[in-house]
Amino acid sequence: MVFALVDCNNFYVSCERVFNPRLEGVPVIVLSNNDGCAIARSNEAKALGIKMGDPLFQLRPLIRLHKIRVFSSNYVLYGDMSSRVMEVLERFSPEIECYSIDESFLRFTGFEHLDLVDYGQEIRATVWRWIGIPTCVGIGPTKTLAKLANFLAKKRSTFEGVCDLTSSALRAELLSTIAVEEVWGIGRAAVAKLEKIGVLTAGDLVALHPKQARQLLTVTGERVVHELRGLSCLPLELVEPQRKGTAVTRSFGQAVTTLDHLIEAIASFATRAGAKLRDHGLAAGTLQVFAHTNRHNGDPWYGNATTMRLLEPTNDTFELVRHASAGLRRIWKDGFRYAKAGVMLGELVPAHRAPQSLLPLSRDREQQARLMQVMDGLNDRYGANTVFPASAGIKRPWKLRADHHSPRYTTRWNELPIATAR
């Protein structure tokens, strides 16, 4: 069995560069929600010492000095570009697990006749040529080794973007050069425990007896050791497991001080949560609403939440908005500056198997289902928030701060890039 991990390099930055070639060779960072901190950095920005999570306000002198280009997160663009990369990867293997927005595992079953390094280079070249996103490919007999191979492909230029660790001899040579914290599944607490017994590298971890790893790091540690030895313990997740819950939470671009504006925000979050449920064919049995102030800026602290059990599981936007708004009114207190709020849905079940109440409802289920279908169709065709409940607000002064937002080049007609012939 052979796995490959295809990882898009500096993905958010790379997406911005696809549509703005002037960013090539320039230090670039992409910020988190509300333009808070750096969550993606170009290699040039990393070379300047910018670390993941560095707050924007601390970086301003460096930004001015080195003319660093700064972008707000453009998740619509990044999600669409991720889907395009996935479509390309499907040409190279019928078995794919989308592990994250910028990483995918492929299984190379029956590919023994191929030179896997050449095949990896073909994958990289095709994604670059068709999508414009640079990638690295790690290959190994387990998912953990494929992860490590990808780390080597990215960090060591001698591999030219593709590293194959299917050879046990090459693994024996290279794993001892990789710090143990780089091993997939080994977190900070596990690293501290391993260091106490002299396990400092991935090679040291391979030599650890699986039973000792289990005693020290539970069954997860034992599984990691087996995976590093080439015994596959983690299959591809070809079907996404059913979600147990979903949430839409946001920090506000500016503090919310009125009940009307906070209800707008909660209604917007409930609308988004309902669309997510329908997209996955699910319905929710419970709904929780929370809101709190910012304890870090000197404002008085207040935070509260309430959970409601719904009469029957639903994914109806208007039902979710109604319950969420009622819940917010229960926990609202005047005189506070609210910094964050959210809607969390639980006890998810397949919508077609959701139990129905014997009590009469104030709405027609079939009519509401058709209305949701029409809403989703319009929003899919013309863009998010083309149609939404009026209670979610129009101006939305509480919305996320995004002062450096790039266009949504691939999903909005009015934001398409314009080419000019001269």
Tokens of 337: 């500056």
131 in the same domain as 70: yes
Of 380, 386, 409, 418, whose CA–CA distance to 84 is shortest?
Answer: 409
Residue 195: how many other CB atoms lie within 10 Å:
13
The reply to whether 260 and 112 lie within a common domain is: no
Q: Is residue 403 part of a domain?
A: no
Closest CA relative to residue 248, chosen from 228, 221, 267: 267
The parent domain of residue 212 ranges over 168-229
CA distance 224 to 220: 6
pLDDT (tens digit, 0 to 9) for every residue of the chain, 422 residues total?
899 999 999 999 999 999 999 999 999 999 998 899 999 999 999 999 999 999 999 999 999 999 999 999 999 999 999 999 999 999 999 999 999 999 999 999 888 889 999 999 999 999 999 999 999 999 999 999 999 999 999 999 999 999 999 999 999 999 999 999 999 999 999 999 999 999 999 999 999 999 999 999 999 999 999 999 999 999 988 666 767 899 999 999 999 999 999 999 999 999 999 999 999 999 999 999 999 999 888 899 999 999 999 989 999 999 999 999 999 999 999 999 999 999 999 999 999 888 887 766 667 888 899 999 999 999 988 888 899 999 999 989 998 888 899 999 998 888 888 888 88
Residue recorded with tokens 């593709």:
162
Asked if residue 67 belongs to a domain, the reply is yes
Residue position matching structure tokens 């490959």: 4
Claim to verify: residue 216 and residue 141 sit in the same structural domain: no
> Is residue 401 in a domain?
no
Token pair of 335 as six digits: 């005189």
For residue 109, what is the domain's CATH number? 3.30.70.270
Query: Could you give the 3-state DSSP secondary structure of residue 69?
Result: strand
- Tell me: do 343 and 252 sit in the same domain: yes
Question: 125 to each of 4, 78, 136, how far by Cα in Å?
Answer: 15, 20, 10
List the structure tokens of 360.
């009469």
Cα four-point dihedral sign 189, 194, 196, 199: negative
Dihedral sign computed on CA atoms, order 36, 39, 45, 51: positive
Asked whether 224 and 183 are in contact (CB, 8 A), the reply is yes
H-only helix segments in 349-421:
365-382
181 & 157 share domain: no
List the one residue out of 384, 321, 398 whose CA is nearest residue 33.
Answer: 398
**DSSP for residue 383:** -
Distances in whole angstroms, Cα of residue 302 to Cα of each of 18, 249, 287, 295: 44, 17, 21, 8
Distance between CA atoms of 330 and 324, rounded to whole angstroms?
Answer: 10
Strand locations in 80-169 (E): 96-100, 103-107, 135-140, 162-164
The reply to whether 399 falls in a domain is: no
> Domain end: 133, 164, 195, which one?
164
- Cβ 186 vs Cβ 223: under 8 Å: no
Whether residue 279 is contained in a domain is answered as: yes
- The two tokens of residue 48 are 């300047």
Domain boundary residue, one of 137, 164, 191: 164
Domain end among 115, 133, 164 = 164
Question: Are 27 and 151 members of one domain?
Answer: yes
pTM of the entire structure? 0.83
Distance CA 154, CA 176 (A): 17
- Give phi and psi for 104, each to the nearest 5: -140, 140
**Nearest of 69, 56, 54, 75 to residue 24 by alpha carbon:** 69
